């Protein structure tokens, strides 16, 4: 597999992404160039049965781009890792599915999103889900420990996508699954678009 050299500064990109998603966490009613909250979840294909138990406050900062549970919910008792977990909506859905014998770990790099996710888990009365600060590029946690990794809208924000896949492979138990909800383009991206950091942060 070849690694492409991407002409944006990775640290600068992370700063801009954090600023952007901090606002989604703290001011979900602001206008963004993407949909957020319950309406966004409905638009990207979440069945009502997945989200009807979530209050408006809990779902307000949802910023996913599709539905990783399209491929199925985790089984009771499984351990799930949600990379780029944001305000925790997918982690909460997974925590309800795995039940008290299972466990869900959300990882995100934006402190305001982590605060929102922890508050949301508390509102839902869930104690089988935890949120850790970290980068997908350097996932915290033991190798070979996860049955299901889910991601919703984070891979398109990352420069080192191959590195992210390697981290996921390291975290998964043999036979584990990776359910990705993300944005793909089917045309080559121009060099000028690749250098435009504002297009990355979207």
Ligand X SMILES: C[S@@+](CC[C@H](N)C(=O)[O-])C[C@H]1O[C@@H](n2cnc3c(N)ncnc32)[C@H](O)[C@@H]1O
Q: Which residues bind ligand X (CB under 6 A)?
A: 17, 21, 62-64, 84-87, 89-90, 108-110, 113, 135-137, 152-154, 157-158
Q: Which is nearer to ligand X, 101 or 198 (CB)?
A: 198
Give the side-chain half-sphere CA count within 13 A for 116.
28
Q: Which is nearer to ligand X, 61 or 79 (CB)?
A: 61
Do 24 and 61 contact (CB within 8 A), yes or no? Answer: yes
Q: Which is nearer to ligand X, 152 or 179 (CB)?
A: 152
Least Å distance, CB 9 to ligand X, is: 14
Q: Is 68 helix (H, G, I), strand (E, B) or coil?
A: helix
Q: How many residues does the chain have?
A: 202
3-state SS of 148-168 is: EEEEECCHHHCCCHHHHHHHH
Question: What DSSP character marks residue 46?
Answer: -
Least Å distance, CB 4 to ligand X, is: 17
Least Å distance, CB 59 to ligand X, is: 9
Q: Which is nearer to ligand X, 12 or 77 (CB)?
A: 12
Q: Which is nearer to ligand X, 87 or 172 (CB)?
A: 87
Question: What's the sign of the alpha-carbon dihedral 112, 36, 141, 129?
Answer: positive
C-alpha distances in angstroms, 108 versus 103, 117, 131, 141? 17, 10, 8, 13
Q: Which is nearer to ligand X, 40 or 172 (CB)?
A: 40
Least Å distance, CB 142 to ligand X, is: 18
C-alpha distances in angstroms, 139 versus 26, 40, 64, 176? 25, 27, 20, 16
Which residue's Cβ lies closest to ligand X?
86
Least Å distance, CB 91 to ligand X, is: 8
Least Å distance, CB 37 to ligand X, is: 10
Structure tokens given for 59 = 């779902």
């Amino acid at each position: 597999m070849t690694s492409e050299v991407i002409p944006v500064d990775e640290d600068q990109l992370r700063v801009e992404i954090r600023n952007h998603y901090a606002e989604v966490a703290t001011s979900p009613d602001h206008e963004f160039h993407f949909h957020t909250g319950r309406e966004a979840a409905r638009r990207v294909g979440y069945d009502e049965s997945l989200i009807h138990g979530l209050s408006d406050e809990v779902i307000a900062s949802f910023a996913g781009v599709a539905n990783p549970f399209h491929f199925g919910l985790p089984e009771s008792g499984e351990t799930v890792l949600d990379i780029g977990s944001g305000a925790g909506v997918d982690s909460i859905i997974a925590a309800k599915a795995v039940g008290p014998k299972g466990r869900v770990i959300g990882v995100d790099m934006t402190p305001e999103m982590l605060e929102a996710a922890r508050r949301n888990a508390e509102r839902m009365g869930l104690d089988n889900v935890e949120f850790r600060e970290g980068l997908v590029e350097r996932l915290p946690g033991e190798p070979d420990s996860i049955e299901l990794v889910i991601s919703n809208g984070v891979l398109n924000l990352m420069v080192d996508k191959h590195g992210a896949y390697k981290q996921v492979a390291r975290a998964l138990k043999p036979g584990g699954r990776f359910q990705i909800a993300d944005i793909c383009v089917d045309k080559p991206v121009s060099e000028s678009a690749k250098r435009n950091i504002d297009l990355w942060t979207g």
